Structure 1
């Protein structure tokens, strides 16, 4: 069963709808009714909706919004890269003097932008890291991609049958996305609609990247569905007031559900879940 998210006050477009309807009713009341009716009309039109939808994440007008755009995260959703990236990062952190297990590395850094990761690492170490170190890490990562990277199981079949517009919004750079999607044969599915965390002021868990992607694709947040595999990405999608599906293969689904995502473990389930959201 799909759980309907809670949501925010009316957005600008919805307020305009109320204003148009309200203006017409006010004109009718001016001509046909007294001041008491006019005051009641004002309260019903302009005050009740504000308090009715205040403090919710999904307004009444958007509850049944059709799905128009699917926004995919890249690493771990489209390409099976999380273990590769985090294994190399774990080794690099050990070289810097920060000992973490692979699981701890994934829990701490998965879904964050490189800048966010570097800031966290430098704060922990209490010193700046050498840019040359990160260039070396990128070279090791890209070399591992060449030999080990594969698409997430089932994603090709899903992309072939989804009838919606699609784009990618990833914390990774454009270079990394093009590299990984190109190596796995997935790049052609997205018609160059790739959006990077480096293009916005704040990365995940802030909503900036998903809102930027929706704006570039000329789609309102209410008509977007995000497919994510990290707590930071799920939080970002929810803060953007988008519906979110959490791919939790190899991850604790409770962490995603607690943040408000509908969870699934098999990519073959994704089309059906999106279809259910489209019918809500």
Structure 2
């Protein structure tokens, strides 16, 4: 039986960074003179790369974003990560159980986040040992999610074909990227009855949704027995 690669997104799947990042980003955007609250930032920028964030903000401003905006945001975000970031509930135990499966050959991370931010996040919550040396970000892979480039890059670097990859994602960008890459996909949606999920059923038609990390090892085990 072939080994399989499990590819994890980082933000919202391994670490509970999205509310924190939305708060910091909203503050940074308000400093540019654009109205933005944390809940709107969370909705608009979920799963976006830094380049995508800047493009969206520039379009709303009607002018280029000031030089230094991204670095200022990231500097403040990293302070918040060190102080407040927590792992997604149950993810340590889920990873340990997944690694016990005889048909799981490897784990890696594929994130639209900045490389330093991904590393700091995993270090802050004690997950880095599972993924050290196997962190892949959009900055090194060409186009970010929702394009398939990042997942295909991660699979290539880990020496797996897409058909032997299972992706764990939470954002629609990530789900669509995994589907475009020809990979199997589980979508972590702890609030699965949200408007976002209901309104985008076509986009997530190829993804199987789960609501609690303690479900994931069993879902992967069942998938690998098919």
| TM-score normalised by L of structure 1 | 0.73
1:82 is matched with which residue?
A: 18
Question: What does 1:1-280 correspond to in 2, within 5 Å?
Answer: 68-163=4-99, 164=104, 165-250=106-191, 252=194, 253-254=197-198, 257-258=201-202, 259-260=204-205, 261-280=207-226
Greater helix share, structure number: 1
State whether residues 90 and 105 of structure 1, in contact with CA within 8 Å, keep that contact through their aligned partners in structure 2: yes
CA RMSD for the aligned pairs?
A: 1.6
Number of matched residues? 216
Q: Distance in 2 between matches of 1:263 and 1:195?
A: 24
1:184 to 1:192, Cα distance in 2 relative to 1, 3 A:
same
Note the C-alpha offset of 1:250.
Answer: 3.3
Deviations 1:220-274, CA, capped at 9 Å, x for gaps: 1011010001111111111111111110113534356532210011000001111
Instruction: Could you tell me which runs of 5 or more consecutive residues in structure 2 were left unpaired when the two chains were aligned.
Output: none
1:255 to 1:183, Cα distance in 2 relative to 1, 3 A:
farther
Deviations 1:143-191, CA, capped at 9 Å, x for gaps: 1111110111000001111132100000012211111101111000114
Q: Distance in 2 between matches of 1:272 and 1:182?
A: 26
State whether residues 169 and 210 of structure 1, in contact with CA within 8 Å, keep that contact through their aligned partners in structure 2: yes
Q: Distance in 1 between matches of 2:4 and 2:120?
A: 27
1:228 to 1:106, Cα distance in 2 relative to 1, 3 A:
same
Q: Distance in 2 between matches of 1:123 and 1:162?
A: 42
Q: Distance in 2 between matches of 1:189 and 1:78?
A: 11
Note the C-alpha offset of 1:67.
Answer: 6.0
State whether residues 246 and 256 of structure 1, in contact with CA within 8 Å, keep that contact through their aligned partners in structure 2: no
| TM-score normalised by L of structure 2 | 0.90
Instruction: Could you tell me which runs of 5 or more consecutive residues in structure 1 were left unpaired when the two chains were aligned.
Output: 1-64
1:263 to 1:255, Cα distance in 2 relative to 1, 3 A:
farther
Write out the 4+ residue segments of structure 1 that deviate beyond 6 Å after TM superposition: none
SS at match of 1:96: coil
Deviations 1:116-138, CA, capped at 9 Å, x for gaps: 11111112212111222222211
State whether residues 256 and 263 of structure 1, in contact with CA within 8 Å, keep that contact through their aligned partners in structure 2: no
1:58 is matched with which residue?
A: none
Q: Distance in 1 between matches of 2:95 and 2:162?
A: 21
